[in-house]
Every structure is written in C-alpha cells, then in structure tokens.
Structure 1
C-alpha cells in the first residue's frame, strides 16, 4: 500500500498545482541505501523458496533490512513526514521482530484475496508474511486491515502501513509545494523591491 500512497500523494500534489522541482534540491543522507534495500528484498522474495539457506535465514534478513531502513529515516528525520514514516516502519518492525521476522497476516482479512494466496501462505514462504495464529504476538499490528472495492486494488495492510502513508503524504506535499511557495515569496519580494526604487 505504501506505493499506492506515494502515487496518490503525487496526484494530490499536482492537483494542488505543485511540481517536481523539489526533487532536484532533495539531498538525503545515505540516499543510495533505499533503492538498494528494495532490490535486496526483491531478490530474497524471489529466491527464498528455491535456496534453502535464504529460506531459513530470510526472517533475520528482513529484520536487518528494517533496522537499516529505520537508521536511514532517523538520519533524515529533519525532512517533513520522515518521523511519521519512521513510527510506521517501527510498528511493522516490532511485530515482525517478535514473530521471527515475518509480518502476520489475518486469515479473515486475507479472505478478500485470491484463494491461491492463502494456499501459498499456508504451505510455503510468501514474501515476508506468515499466517496470524493464536501463537502470534502483537497480532493487532499485523496485516489485519482489508481493502477492497471501492479501493482500486484489493489488499490487506497494517496499522504501520497506514501511518507510513500519512508520513509519505506529508513529505511529498512538502516536496512538491514548498519550492513553489518559496518562488512566489521571492517574486513578491523582487516586485516590492522594484516598486521602492
């Protein structure tokens, strides 16, 4: 859902007459680490059912990825919305850390998904997810929120995902609108300066 939230945030930014000029001025500490973590996770997702070593260690790998991601967010906490994103990531991290590195998925919530998804979840590793059971710790922080019609994409999300999307929205709105407002202020000051000459 995070990617859905990012896309929606950009759409709202454009509707508010924002622009992407802020991207050119965006400087993030360890900015290279985020795409690298995404790529690394995709590789683990793809191979964990084929390579036994990855299958047995993938939970620990995901925990490590989350720790590095939280460090990245903390180092860049001065950016609007990053603290909110960090809180959301931390909530997801906590529930995964106490459940072997896997995000618990509610069977009831997952009933809105394709039946094949539940079969995979029951019998093999699927991404970084695992079924939520009576033995699950902090299950309320897992993927327990179903999204379906009228939402355009059927999926299940966690409380942490919701908070992360709020933070991403705040950041993207700032990114798209702040420089526009600064440009308006500069133009106004230049105009006033010209009138006083």
Structure 2
C-alpha cells in the first residue's frame, strides 16, 4: 500500500489574519506606552489588537522581537528630511520627532528610553535599536551640511544628535499630562529655540 504524503508543515511567518500585523505592532506600542517594560505582555498586546496570542507568536518569538519591529514601524520617516539647509533639516526633524512623541504610540519610545536608563541590566535589543536608528539617520543630514560649508568637517556629530534629541525628549517629558494639547505655535517656538541652541553650539551661521 502506497504511503500517504506527509501533511505540509505550517510555516512560521507573518500573521495570516488580514491586517493583523499592523494592529499588533500598534497595540504593542500603545501597551508599552501605558504599562512600560514591567507590565508589557504578549497576552495584553493580543487582546488589544483583537487577535489570538498564537497569531502574535506566528511572527514574533518574544516581546523583545515584537518591540524591535514596532519601533521600526513608528520611527520610519521621522528623519526623512532634506530642505536644502541644516537649519531647515533640523527644524523639520525636531518637529517630526516632537509630533511622534505626542502620539500615544510614540510616547512608548520615550518610556523605553526612561526604562532603559533606570534598569540595572539590558531590557532587550529594542532599546539599542531606538538609539541606533536615530543616530544613523541623522548622519546624512550632517554630511550634507558639511558639504555645503554650513558647519566644519570636524563637527562632533554624536554630540549634536544627543543635544537635539535630548532637548526634544526632555521637552516632552515636562508636559506628559497635556502633551497632546500642545498647539502648533507652541511646538514651533520650542523647536526653533532648540535648533537655535544646537546650531550655536555647532558653530553654524546664526538665524
């Protein structure tokens, strides 16, 4: 008697429920923004996304892998700026970042920074990914500025990145209760003040 063919193995990969991946990634950031690392669980993410826990595990082996992809999803495009000037690029970048932080899901990245700073050991690779993504993305902006002669070639790029991102992050931390109500004029004034300070320290031309 001929042996029957073995049943095809179900491959691990992206969730098969239409739209599930986007919902899960958004839910992961919202869940982290509300609960932080200590309260973050795959079960809670699945409930918030309206999917079964198995659907999450089809794509992500653990919560660290899930958060890495979630960070990548929301960080994409923040640094995609090219206005033709360093000031314009930094103002557009700071504005994008500030708006990202004002979003409930974007707030999760702020909590990640705070949680990582206060943890006695590494929380996971997702915290490193947050820092590396922003640093890597800003370097082309600074290289263009050097090529245009706006800043010296020996500009300490890492320090400039820390000053810009640190200032925007601290501004967000100072208004957690009413952050989403920040008006466009308020946001613009804060961004211009930050960029003025950063450029003055970088030795760029004044406004």
Q: TM-score, normalised by structure 2?
A: 0.24
Q: TM-score, normalised by structure 1?
A: 0.25
* Higher RCO (C-alpha under 8 Å, 6+ residues apart): 1
